[in-house]
């Protein structure tokens, strides 16, 4: 059974997320995208867990089903902010649980450390290894996956608050970490350059803050499971057997791929930054060091190295953005939806359109230029102006940059969490 999964999602109760991010919209747009397994997101939040209990049923396999038949697995994300090895750390982790009962026990653990009711992605002053050990005491079937491991501000290897090795972060609990989420600003090929990552499954998920098809599933993991059960899913993650590969966006599309300063309109490659001692040439302040730079710092292999048995991956820009680029219209405009729905009516779901539908069939339903963009996307021929310091990368079509949308709410949320200078009501424990 081939499974397209997105196991890092959020609910309407997380900061800077859509108010329409509920079960009904998740399952609706997951089917449109071509996904057949979702994370629930935010199971620690008291209001969201009530909605999950009302809308999802567990048949004993650890996979919960909605009324419309969409498959879910209990999932949340936590932000851990603490001091270790003389440095402030901010690391996000995904947590998968085998049942609602176990998820409730996880929530009770976090409630003993702080509040869970102010945000779907709560913040705690707990080291990663301590949190992981506590999860294993609750259930050996819980899976902890370090989230978007290269993001500068909140990740395992982040330039602003991360570590140089997984072992330093998880210490004696490294044995219980089996997979790493690559994040939008890196892809598997970039991660293959670090030998310390060889034993881990590289997975990709969207970390979506809305259910729209240009967000949900933009990165996903593909599994081949005999039966869709939680145990089979976790076995595939832990052994890599049954993990077929991933769907990625081009890492240059990610918001933190290169170095720079958004406010100064400065974007630099690692070599350019090093020449400037990592100082912005406009304002004189330290640059936000991106994922590309961090990988260059930590890599012990040359660019282009591919480990034995490396999993393949697709590099795809979402379909709505391709259509928007062709029409010169916003991604959610009526013109874009009209063309999107034509393709959907003919070919069932977006992944099918992006990956499998032949050129001749595409041209029967949309204009030749849209079909051309889809094929260029499929073949990795879309160039991008790289993202940096919170700015998404910009696709280039026909030698023109196409800025399709902005995400001001996400930026605002990031700014709040970057500066934990004092304890604020409802924001949990800060350093």
| 43 touches 113 (CB < 8 A) | no
The mean pLDDT value for 299-321 works out to: 96
Give one DSSP letter per residue of 135-173, joined into a string.
HHHH-TT-EEEE-STT-SSSSSS-TTT--S-HHHHHGGG
Q: What pLDDT does 59 receive?
A: 84
The pairing of beta strand 243-248 with beta strand 313-315: parallel
Least confident of 21-35, 140-154, 323-337: 323-337
Q: Is the pLDDT of residue 410 over 50?
A: no
Q: What pLDDT does 400 receive?
A: 80
What are the phi and psi torsion angles at 214 (to 5°)? -85, 5
Q: What pLDDT does 193 receive?
A: 98
Residue 395's nearest CA partner among 319, 322, 292, 291 is 322
| 179 touches 202 (CB < 8 A) | yes
For 261-272, the pLDDT digits (tens) are 999 999 999 999
The pairing of beta strand 37-39 with beta strand 2-6: parallel
Q: Is the pLDDT of residue 239 over 50?
A: yes
For 152-190, the pLDDT digits (tens) are 999 999 999 999 999 999 999 999 999 999 999 999 999
Q: What pLDDT does 418 receive?
A: 52
Give one DSSP letter per residue of 35-58, joined into a string.
--EEE---TTSHHHHHHHHHH-EE
Q: What pLDDT does 20 receive?
A: 95
For 81-101, the pLDDT digits (tens) are 999 999 999 999 999 999 999
Q: How many CB atoms lie within 10 A of CB 110?
A: 20
Domain boundary assignment for the chain: 2-253+412-418, 320-381
Q: Is the pLDDT of residue 409 over 80?
A: no
Give 3-state DSSP helix, strand, coil % of the chain, rounded to 5. Answer: 35, 20, 45
Give one DSSP letter per residue of 62-126, joined into a string.
S-EE-TT--EEEEEEEEEEEEEETTEEEEEEEEEEESSHHHHHHHHHHHHTTS--SS-SS-EE--
Specify the length of the chain in residues: 431
For the chain, the average pLDDT equals 93
Identify the DSSP state of 22.
S
Give one DSSP letter per residue of 259-308, joined into a string.
EEETTTTEEE-HHHHHHTTTB-TTT-SBPB--HHHHHHHH--S-TT---T
In percent, the amount of the chain with pLDDT more than 90 equals 90
Please determine, looking at this structure, whether the domain spanning 2-253+412-418 carries the CATH number 1.10.3720.10. Answer: no
419 confidence band (pLDDT: 50, 70, 90)? low
What are the phi and psi torsion angles at 397 (to 5°)? -120, 130
Q: What pLDDT does 405 receive?
A: 53
Q: What pLDDT does 403 receive?
A: 72
Residue 236's nearest CA partner among 260, 203, 214, 205 is 203
Q: Is the pLDDT of residue 394 over 90?
A: yes
Q: Is the pLDDT of residue 420 over 70?
A: no
| 63 touches 108 (CB < 8 A) | no
The mean pLDDT value for 350-360 works out to: 97
Q: What pLDDT does 404 receive?
A: 64
Maximum alpha-carbon separation in the chain: 62
Angle at 295 between CA 290 and CA 300, to 5 degrees: 165
| 40 touches 22 (CB < 8 A) | no
């Amino acid at each position: 059974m081939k499974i397209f999964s997105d196991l890092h999602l959020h609910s309407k109760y997380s900061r800077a997320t859509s108010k329409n991010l509920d079960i009904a919209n998740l399952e609706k747009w997951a089917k449109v995208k071509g996904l057949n397994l979702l994370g629930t997101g935010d199971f620690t939040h008291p209001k969201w867990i009530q909605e999950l209990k009302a809308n999802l049923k567990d048949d004993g396999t650890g996979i919960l089903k909605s009324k419309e038949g969409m498959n879910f697995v209990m999932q949340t994300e936590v932000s851990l902010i603490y001091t270790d090895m003389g440095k402030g750390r901010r690391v996000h982790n995904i947590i998968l649980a085998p049942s609602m009962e176990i998820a409730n026990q996880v929530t009770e653990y976090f409630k003993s450390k702080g509040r869970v009711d102010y945000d779907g992605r709560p913040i705690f002053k707990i080291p990663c290894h301590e949190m992981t050990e506590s999860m294993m005491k609750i259930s050996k079937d819980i899976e902890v996956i370090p989230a978007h491991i290269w993001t500068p501000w909140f990740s395992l290897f982040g330039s602003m608050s991360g570590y140089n090795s997984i072992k330093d972060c998880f210490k004696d609990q490294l044995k219980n970490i089996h997979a790493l989420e690559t994040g939008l600003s890196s892809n598997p090929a970039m991660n293959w350059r670090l030998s310390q990552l060889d034993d881990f499954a590289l997975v990709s998920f969207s970390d979506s803050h809305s259910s729209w098809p240009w967000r949900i599933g933009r990165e996903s993991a593909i599994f081949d499971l005999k039966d869709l059960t939680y145990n089979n899913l976790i076995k595939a993650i832990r052994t890599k057997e049954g993990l077929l590969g991933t769907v990625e966006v081009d890492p240059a599309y990610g918001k933190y791929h290169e170095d720079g300063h958004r406010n100064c309109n400065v974007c630099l490659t690692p070599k350019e930054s090093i020449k400037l001692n990592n100082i912005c040439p406009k304002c004189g302040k330290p640059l936000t060091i991106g994922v590309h730079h961090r990988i260059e710092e930590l890599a012990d292999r040359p660019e282009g190295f591919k480990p034995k048995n490396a999993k393949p991956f697709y590099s795809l820009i979402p379909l709505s953005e391709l259509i928007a680029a062709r029409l010169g219209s916003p991604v959610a405009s009526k013109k874009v939806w009209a063309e999107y729905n034509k393709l959907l009516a003919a070919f069932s779901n977006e992944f099918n359109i992006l990956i499998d539908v032949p050129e001749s069939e595409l041209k029967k339903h949309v204009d030749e230029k849209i079909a051309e963009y889809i094929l260029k996307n499929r073949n990795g021929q879309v160039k991008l102006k790289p993202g940096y310091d919170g700015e998404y990368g910009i696709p280039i079509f026909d030698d023109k940059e196409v800025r399709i949308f902005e995400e001001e709410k996400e930026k605002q949320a990031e700014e709040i969490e970057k500066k934990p200078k004092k304890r604020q009501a409802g924001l949990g424990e800060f350093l």
